[in-house]
Structure 1
Amino acid sequence: MKKRFVKINDCCIGDKVALDVITETGAVIVTEGTVLNEFIINKLRNLGINNIHIYSESENLDRSNIAFENLSKEYSKNVDTVKNIIGDLALGKKLDYGVISNIADDIKLEMENKDNVIKFLSTFKAYDEYTYNHSLNVAFYSMLLGKWLGLREDVITELTKAAVMHDLGKAKIPEEILNKKGPLTQKEFEIMKKHAQYGYEIAKQDTRISLEVLKGILMHHENEDGSGYPLKIKGDKINLFAKIISICDVYDALTQERVYKGRMTPFDAFKIIELDGYTKFDTKILLTFLHNIASYYIGMQVILSDGRAGEIVYVTPQNVSYPIVKVGDELIDLMNRKDLRIVSLLN
């Protein structure tokens, strides 16, 4: 895919951004893959952005659609693989670490179209396969967050493997609890909490799996304030992989369709995560996640709480929960319109 470095005044509505647009302070204000609209072009001008990278005209919608279809096929294949892995573990078979490595490699390749990946995860519906989809989704988000944090490629690869395996211990949880069509009782939740320890014990049997990966699996439900499990540790005692996976784990759990609850929009999820996330998550990692992922929803079609359809035209990094939505010729800043909210994203 060819890229061109052009003046902002030469950009046209419909051009696709080829590289993240970053301010002097390092904040991502428009992500790669974003389709330019009038609002974004004017916003970039006002921020003093004079030049950006865009894809050449040969980068067209057909290619984007083909990439989306290929992503869907690869995703479904890897979900089936995760399902088979957990099924085999439930039968007492050993973990096939080579297959885990193959899934991590596939995710790395698919991340070349990361704008499609995030939009796909936000609209894909498969709540009956939640346990398996969730493992894969968390791996996608964790790889992205690792990149946003500036981790080395070899570290990101290990992080991705830990994320794929973070819920392996659920293979040892009784099916009536794992597949319950509703919230768990306190007793059931205490049993479910054991999955982190179980996953660690499964993975440590393979000597090829690094200590950092093992800690990521064991600690992914630990909280910064010590309120997590199973070790109830806090702060710097929590492994970096676990800190990353925990944020991605909660975000995906909130935004995925379940049998007993509907999908929450990313923006409602941002509000919930911000509400108590600063005591449970590492603040630097959390802010990196929120500020980067929010901008990927620019250009998505949405339905507002008053029934009108619109398009997200901008997400302010400082107020990720309240994007600016264009409905017809009207620009609605949801930060100033608390009577309105986004109720769903459209494919």
Structure 2
Amino acid sequence: MRLISLEVLQPGMVIAKTIWNEAYRPLLQKDVVVSQGIIERLKQLNIKYVYIDDKISNGIEVHESIPIEVRMAAIKKITESFHKLKGVEGKKASYVLDQQSGEIGKLIDGLLESILKSTEMLTILTDSYIYDEYLYQHSFQVTLYSLAIAKELGLTYDEMKLIGTGAILHDVGKIQIPSTVLFKPGRLTDEEFELIKQHTTFGFDILRNLHSISLLVAHCAFQHHERLDGSGYPRGLTEKDIHPYAKIIAVADVFDAITSDRVYRDRMLPAQGIEIIESGSGKIFDSKVVEAFKRSVVHYPNGTIVLLSDGRRGVVAKQNLQDAAHPVIRIFEENNEILRSTYILNLEEHLHIAIEKIETDYLAHAE
């Protein structure tokens, strides 16, 4: 299977990956033959990419990092928890959340079980899941990335559980931001942006009054927008004053934000998001956290068409666990001509060859 932009999806192509909604129901089943009606429906759903089956990607698989039933159960629990807090303020909000702490703990345990026994890097399954509200998906994704970083850093189970809880609840303060501001499609005014920034303080105030959850979780919400150079908010803290857990969640939060669709812009692909994170390493993001993150997340997902620096074109066939930036490529085109038979090129063994471009809009001549 391979990843393709909806802009070049054509009738007759075959869907390779089921698309699910938030109720764990398939919106579009694997093996369905695409029609013009399906394309129009996907556009209405704001789908940007789908996985298809074709000759050049035959046999290439994209594996789930987290079982779908675990993912859906987790997002359902996050949704329920946040919904119960809507319209509730002050210590009452803390009390409501306190009553759910046991379930949140079980949720983290389930995610940790999957992540700790997995020997693979996290893969982003672009547009395989459709949710009504970005906040819940974002909270889940940030938790996954944060736990993967913590695992790579060699933290203990108890430390990982605290980070996971902090990640799930890092944006809980956004429930007190009016949706007209939170999901505004246009540019925010200075006053609106100042209000958005208050979600860190709102979250801290809710979480610091919990009796069943560590105060460190509150500081994760308070500090995840702080930056090493003091350019962050709400207090403009510098490196020495930012908690290590918040430094982890900061990287996970930014990466998920730029690789997800937002009301004001389209997503970037993983490699593009990683490049942005890397550009801030040691300046605004902790360099050890960035390096751990780069080792934890797939840069070029299986099934991605790439153009190489020597002009060859191929599809990512396999990951190199020790070098995520240099995957194994199935070469199918040279000098702009489709080869009669493909061959494998392991970029880890050819470091002088770089990936120049990701081509989700590529169409083979045979298509």
Q: TM-score, normalising length from structure 2?
A: 0.66
CA distance in 2, matches of 1:344, 1:112: 32
Unaligned stretches of 5+ in structure 2? 1-60, 333-341, 362-367
Q: Is the CA contact 1:224–1:281 (under 8 Å) kept in the aligned structure 2? A: yes
Q: 1:211 to 1:91 in 2, by over 3 A?
A: same
Q: 1:89 to 1:152 in 2, by over 3 A?
A: same
| Counterpart in the other structure of 1:302 | 304
Q: 1:274 to 1:211 in 2, by over 3 A?
A: same
Q: Is the CA contact 1:301–1:309 (under 8 Å) kept in the aligned structure 2? A: no
Q: 1:315 to 1:210 in 2, by over 3 A?
A: same
Which is further off, 191-200 or 311-320?
Answer: 311-320
CA distance in 2, matches of 1:213, 1:119: 26
Q: CA deviation at 1:309?
A: 5.7
Q: What is the aligned counterpart of 1:275 among 274, 279, 282?
A: 279
Q: What is the aligned counterpart of 1:342 among 358, 361, 366?
A: 358
Q: What is the aligned counterpart of 2:77 among 57, 81, 98?
A: 81
CA distance in 2, matches of 1:85, 1:343: 39
Letter in 1 for 2:170: H
SS at match of 1:248: helix
CA distance in 1, matches of 2:66, 2:239: 40
CA distance in 1, matches of 2:173, 2:224: 12
Q: CA RMSD in A?
A: 3.4
SS at match of 1:304: strand
| Counterpart in the other structure of 1:213 | 217
CA distance in 2, matches of 1:77, 1:217: 23
| Counterpart in the other structure of 1:226 | 230
Task: Give the fraction of aligned pairs with identical amino acids, expressed as a percent.
Answer: 29
| Counterpart in the other structure of 2:140 | 136
| CA deviation profile, 1:134-167 (whole Å, cap 9, x unmatched) | 1011111111111111111111111111111100
CA distance in 2, matches of 1:215, 1:292: 24
Which is further off, 172-181 or 85-94?
Answer: 85-94
Q: CA deviation at 1:341?
A: 0.9
Q: CA deviation at 1:267?
A: 0.8
Q: 1:270 to 1:324 in 2, by over 3 A?
A: farther
Q: 1:219 to 1:340 in 2, by over 3 A?
A: same
Q: 1:215 to 1:114 in 2, by over 3 A?
A: same
Q: Is the CA contact 2:66–2:114 (under 8 Å) kept in the aligned structure 1? A: no
Q: 1:278 to 1:319 in 2, by over 3 A?
A: farther
Please show how residues 1-347 of structure 1 align to structure 2 within 5 Å: 68=64, 71-92=67-88, 93=93, 94-95=96-97, 96-112=100-116, 114=118, 118-122=122-126, 124-126=128-130, 128-294=132-298, 300-304=302-306, 310-313=315-318, 320=325, 325-328=329-332, 329=342, 331=345, 340-344=356-360
Q: Which has the higher helix share?
A: 1
Letter in 2 for 1:283: S
| Counterpart in the other structure of 1:45 | none
Q: CA deviation at 1:234?
A: 0.7
> How many residues end up aligned between the 2 structures?
279
